[in-house]
């Protein structure tokens, strides 16, 4: 399934900011729109994994998004300009505010994408990783440098870099925080192995 993200907000600054944060962390098809009703041009999308970031303005917005949910795996994140995430309308999965830190946003999107990806192929994407790639991912999630990983696994730094490139391409996750979340959710790493500073 194709992974798509719609960023819908009347403020160009907010749209571009979200776009930049997500583009740098994930390999996704990103579309920016000014109003929810512009989604009507995309209602014929079928069998896609979709995340919609938006600021709802009324019942018609909610109905349009609900219609898209009937044909796609879709998660909806409401954007608030208040200092804290708002009370969520029915059919909305999560809320963020303009004060939400970028790391928190990336972690949320990574967690939302994992179930999508797991259901795409009757097994999780974790099955695409080789045993050695899982070893490397485990050590990356624990905060080790390329040299430390090479020393621990008795391989060259060049090989570590190659494994990390393959992991990033297979999972579509570029950031270390995103890889760490993936490793925890897919039980490649146990949170007991991590120091508390890494979890913040």
Over the stretch 176-196, which tens digit does the pLDDT of each residue have?
888 988 888 888 887 776 664
pLDDT at 134 over 80: yes
Q: Could you tell me if 77 and 52 are in contact, meaning their C-beta atoms sit under 8 angstroms apart?
A: yes
Nearest to 79 by CA among 92, 67, 70: 92
Burial 140-149 (b: 16+ CB within 10 A, else e): bbbebebeeb
Does 145 have pLDDT greater than 90? yes
Q: Domains in the chain, ordered, with CATH?
A: 2-120 (3.40.50.2300), 125-199 (1.10.10.10)
How sure is the predictor about 138, in pLDDT bands with cuts at 50, 70 and 90?
very high
Ranges 48-57, 144-153, 171-180, 188-197: which has the least confidence: 188-197
DSSP code of residue 154: T
Confidence class of residue 125 from pLDDT cuts 50, 70 and 90? very low
Q: What predicted TM-score, i.e. pTM, was given to this entire model?
A: 0.55
Nearest Cα to 50, choosing from 77, 15, 23? 77
pLDDT, residue 126, reads: 44
Give me the pLDDT at residue 39, please.
84
Please tell me which residue, 129 or 1, carries the higher pLDDT value.
129
The rounded mean pLDDT for the chain is: 81
Q: Where are the alpha helices (DSSP H) in the chain?
A: 12-25, 59-69, 102-120, 131-141, 146-153, 157-171, 176-185
CA distance 193 to 160: 21
**What one-character DSSP code corresponds to residue 2?**
E
Phi-psi region of 165 (alpha: psi -120 to 50; beta: other; left: phi over 0): alpha
């Amino acid at each position: 399934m194709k992974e798509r993200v719609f960023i819908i907000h009347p403020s160009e600054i907010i749209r571009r900011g979200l776009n930049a944060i997500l583009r740098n962390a994930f390999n996704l098809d990103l579309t920016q729109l000014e109003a929810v009703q512009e989604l009507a041009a995309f209602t014929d999308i079928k069998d896609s994994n979709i995340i919609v970031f938006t600021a709802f303005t009324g019942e018609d917005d909610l109905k349009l998004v609900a219609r898209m949910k009937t044909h796609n795996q879709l998660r909806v994140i409401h954007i608030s300009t208040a200092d804290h995430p708002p009370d969520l309308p029915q059919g909305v999965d999560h809320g963020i505010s303009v004060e939400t830190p970028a790391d928190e946003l990336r972690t949320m999107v990574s967690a939302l994408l994992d179930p999508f990806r797991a259901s795409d192929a009757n097994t999780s994407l974790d099955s695409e990783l080789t045993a050695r790639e899982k070893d490397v991912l485990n050590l990356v999630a624990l905060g080790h440098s390329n040299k430390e990983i090479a020393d621990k696994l008795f391989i060259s730094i060049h090989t570590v870099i190659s494994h990390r490139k393959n992991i990033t391409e297979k999972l579509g996750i570029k950031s270390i925080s995103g890889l760490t979340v993936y490793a925890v959710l897919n039980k490649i790493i146990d949170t007991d192995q991590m120091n508390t500073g890494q979890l913040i």
